Structure 1
Amino acid sequence: MTDVVDIEGLTKRYGEVTAVEDVSFQVRPGRVVGLLGRNGAGKTTTLRMLLGLARPTAGRATVFGHPYAQLPRAAHRVGVGMDGIGPSNAATGRGDLNIWAKTLGLGRSRVEEVLERVGLADDAHRKLRGFSTGMRQRHALATALLADPELLILDEPANGLDPDGIRWLRQFLRSLADEGRTVLLSSHLLAEVEQTADDIVILQRTLRYSGTVADLTRNGTVSLESSFFDLVGPAAKEPSHA
């Protein structure tokens, strides 16, 4: 079975600072994969390199066997939700999605389908500037789903969600995998990812783990949180000030 995502030896340096170093992992089809790490561990940088938004210093990243920029019908096969790929605050929720749908060659009926699916149909007439953080996250998911993609790449999709929203997101992501889609999401919510993901990738600039949740947690006998900190070590101490 061909891997959906294949990352080999990926490295990114900004001058003398190395953000990501020699990272390799694969994402199998039909799986929910959690990309974990502390702030600054290289999660978003890795996703940006995968999507062709940042050029690697070394290594390669492919989606469905191609660099993203060379993937035929990339915007239809890969749905993306991350900062920097977002809506205009002046538009309504429905209006923004209609713009995206027109760009993708889709009809307005598809917009109504995704609004209903993410629970925004009743609020889609409102301006995006008035959306709560949780509503914005749902809107980002609707945008990512518009073209009915095989793969979704989501950067911190649970940010700003209340407990009800987080529970909804967990069920939503699992439903996508049940349909045969693949989901790669970055997060720092360890307990939630433990309940949602099939596989885990842990970064701390370098790769610390890539494998199943079951193997990492010894089939639930240890917590993901405990295993995570064993792998990444203690946080760097803040300098003390007199």
Structure 2
Amino acid sequence: MRAPSPSLLLSLGLLLTPLAARSEPSTASPLVELSVATLQLPAQDDPAWVARREMIVQALATLRPDVISVQQVMQEGQRNPACWLAGRLRYHCDFITADPPSQPQRHGSALLSRLPVEQDGVTLLHPPGKYSAAGMMRLPLGTGEVNVYVARLRPEPDSPENRQHQANDLMAWIAATADGHPSLITGDFVAGSSEVVRGMPGFQPSRRNPSTRVDKSGSSDSSHGLDLLFQVKSFSGVRQQRIELPAEGELPALRLGVLAVIRLQEPAG
């Protein structure tokens, strides 16, 4: 009987090509891949969040990333959009903030994982600011473990010196906590792409040729933006795609972020 051809799944403006598993015998080790979505969600008091959060759930349920990183999360009381999303997807959620629990509004980022979390942590980058807390999760991958770090390297005030200071703090924390495991950095980077690579040696952006963004006023933004950085000695990039919802009625298209798929390289020898 002839096997059916792979199908194309069109859902919520996302054109996805499923990966077909082959049953051919092979002596090679199976390829180990990790998918990471880096997002910025509408604020929970934004009408776009209320109107489209169920579509966001459906889009991410279709993609099923292993890890979701959410930037610029604001929490009032015990609720925030990122952990609400994690609850709907049945993911683990870490809200990463430098604000004390007694503060009415807390700002930070979030790491969501559908893989078991072996270890997590948080640190503060300098100069400190509203979103200067960085976090990490250690997750099982293949026969080993991998560290996923999240950071928003947009210092307040912004300057080359402050950007480098935050990058140095992050790299020092990774060196102190990686324990020899392969590491990734998911986040939002205000520096240009060349500065990002220079400031975090050994890490490669998933977007090899990130384009300059243009805002509604027509001014360009040369910042690197949302991305996943991976250690080139441990990973290779497979693909990256945008995550966005199409326009619907009076609601404009909503760009959420990017999905990167990387592959763990086999250890030398």
What TM-score, normalized to structure 1?
0.36
Higher fraction of helix: 1
Higher fraction of strand: 2
Q: Which has the higher contact order (CA 8 A, sep 6+)?
A: 1
